[in-house]
A = this chain, B = another copy of it.
Amino acid sequence: MATDQLSTTFAALADPTRRAILARLVTGECSVTELAEPFEMSLPAVSKHLRVLERAGLIARGREAQWRPCRLEARPLKEVADWTERYREIWEGRFARLDTYLQQLKAKEKKNDRKHRGK
């Protein structure tokens, strides 16, 4: 098991339900019951996901005994963004090259079209 922060964050994000929970928390604090509703999941199943998110520091939970609302903690997401940023040049370069290639293909096709019509 990897234990560095970034690995823990990535592992926590590797689940569509957990990502949907984070998306829901963008609108504000939620109780576990409120979070469980849209997923048609049992409270224990949602609680399990919340524990993973809490361990990764992606959510924090209130200390109110009755309610314990969850709120989003965005700092680990910033770390993911910072890590990804190093690769931006590569994908932008790749896409720029792909674009050039497609433009060349188009130009070639046009030229061929003109040739055929000329015959």
Report which A residues bind B (CB closer than 8 A): 2, 4, 6-8, 10-11, 13-16, 19, 22-23, 26, 72, 74-75, 77-78, 80-81, 83-88, 90-91, 94
- Tell me if A's interface is mostly helix, strand, loop or mixed: helix
- Which residues of chain B are near A84, meaning CB under 8 Å? 77, 80-81, 84
Residue of B nearest to A8 (CB): B14
Contact of A81 among B8, B13, B88 (CB under 8 A): B88
- 16 contacts across the A-B interface (CB closer than 8 A): A2-B16, A6-B16, A6-B19, A7-B14, A7-B15, A7-B16, A8-B14, A10-B10, A10-B14, A19-B83, A23-B86, A26-B86, A74-B87, A74-B91, A77-B87, A78-B91
A72-B85 in contact (CB<8A): no
- Which residues of chain B are near A94, meaning CB under 8 Å? 74-75
Residue of B nearest to A25 (CB): B90
- Which residues of chain B are near A19, meaning CB under 8 Å? 6, 83
A2-B26 in contact (CB<8A): no
- Which residues of chain B are near A2, meaning CB under 8 Å? 14-16
A101 to chain B, nearest CB (A): 15
